[in-house]
Amino acid sequence: MKFIFAITLFITVIFCQNVTGQATNNSTTETSIDKSIEKAMAETGIVGIGASVIIDKKVAWTKGYGYADKENKIPFSPSTLMNIASITKTFTGVCIMKAVEEGKVSLDEDINNYLPFKVINPYFPDEKITLRHLATHTSGLTDRSPVYGDSTYYYDGNKAEPLGEFLKNYFSQDGRYYSKDNFLNAKPGTRRDYSNIGAGLAGYIIELKTGKKLNGYAKDHIFKPLKMNNSGWALNEINLNNHTKLYEKKGSSIVQVPLYEVTTYPDGGIRTSVEELSKFFISLLNEGQYEKTRILKKETVEEMLRFQYTETNKPDNVNPKKLNQGIFWATKLGGTRIGHNGSDPGVRTFMLSDLNKEFAVIVFFNTSLNEEDEGKFFDIYEKLYQYAQDLKAKQTIRR
């Protein structure tokens, strides 16, 4: 979600330079994938991994490695539950688009027409901010540390601050968290700045306009239709016996991270499994449909996934060929992949497809690494992506 975003962004940029345009020179087998992943886990201390490969909108391979509970030797499997950090934003995006379908919100309406308090950028007080701005990270709202950061995580069952109360205090001029530094000196739409709190605000608007908490709205329109029966937005919605423990590498030691919830849950609160997330991802790659179940109209998904930045309509700090954005959906790795990834304490997640939506990889890690080992996450993801590419090529040859 947010806790190592700056580091991750830096590593992603460096990694992109290495993998963009990389060809598959050697056929990747399941055995070689197993060996590569197990070697990386041994070298880094990653405790548990779950992964799936999607080919032509169907799961072609899925597997777990290591442990969901190291102490009790419980294996990590594709059905192991874990919080997925910022991949949650894609669920918030679907909730937004469902509310658009229902006529309850518009992507281009001033958000102040939806809110019980005012959100006004003091540098551009006459400019409206829209849901489209929030969902494409061009709103001019920024995550100010330390108000937005570690203090929004609640561990060991402690109750998080209510979302609406936090947002009001952050954005209202008389709020206890208010500062001009909560805003960029940039007109909405003119600068991209990844904003977790903007996602929190977007989710809150959906709650206000649908009359349902986001977890309930998602349950009605995503979890139930897709039979994601074990997924939820809060710890009390899931079976904790199926939830992985979380770990963090500190020096040469691996320590356990207590389970937590977050105040701004629309930006990173969902708990699901590789198995169930695959259904959701397939539905987006397949124009809103998983098998016989449709969660959004085809045209709604097209708008959600459409690249919003063009050469004539883009933020000043973005090259659309390298980075583009849908509704909480983005290109990654130098513009070579689409989807989302996520990072939180004890969590690293990837949900990315090739640009043509022909093959995709989902991978969960239940361990945070230190800065020097962070690139291993991308190495493992890339090996899985190459494996997916090879499986796709083999299927094409058979036809």
For the chain, give the percent of residues with pLDDT over 70: 92
pLDDT of amino acid 243: 98
Find the mean pLDDT for residues 116-137: 97
Position 1 confidence tier, pLDDT thresholds 50, 70, 90: low
pLDDT of amino acid 26: 52
Position 395 confidence tier, pLDDT thresholds 50, 70, 90: confident
CATH architecture classification, 5-398? 3-Layer(aba) Sandwich (3.40)
Q: Tens digits of per-residue pLDDT, 227-236?
A: 999 999 999 9
In this structure, the dihedral spanned by the alpha carbons of residues 245, 377, 393 and 331, taken in order and rounded to 10 degrees, is 100
Residue 17 pLDDT > 50: no
Position 150 confidence tier, pLDDT thresholds 50, 70, 90: confident
Position 273 confidence tier, pLDDT thresholds 50, 70, 90: very high
Q: Which CA distances in Å does 269 have to 3, 80, 215?
A: 14, 16, 10
Of the candidates 110, 85, 90, the one whose C-alpha atom is nearest the C-alpha of residue 269 is 85
Of the candidates 65, 30, 52, the one whose C-alpha atom is nearest the C-alpha of residue 281 is 52
pLDDT of amino acid 206: 98
* pTM of the predicted protein model: 0.93
| Pairing between β-strand 246-250 and β-strand 367-368 as defined by DSSP bridges | parallel
Q: Tens digits of per-residue pLDDT, 185-213?
A: 999 999 999 999 999 999 999 999 999 99
pLDDT of amino acid 11: 41
* CA dist., res. 216 & res. 122, Å (int): 34
Find the mean pLDDT for residues 82-99: 98
Q: Tens digits of per-residue pLDDT, 324-373?
A: 999 999 999 999 999 999 999 999 999 999 999 999 999 999 999 988 88
Find the mean pLDDT for residues 93-98: 98
Q: Tens digits of per-residue pLDDT, 311-336?
A: 888 999 999 999 999 999 999 999 99
pLDDT of amino acid 252: 87
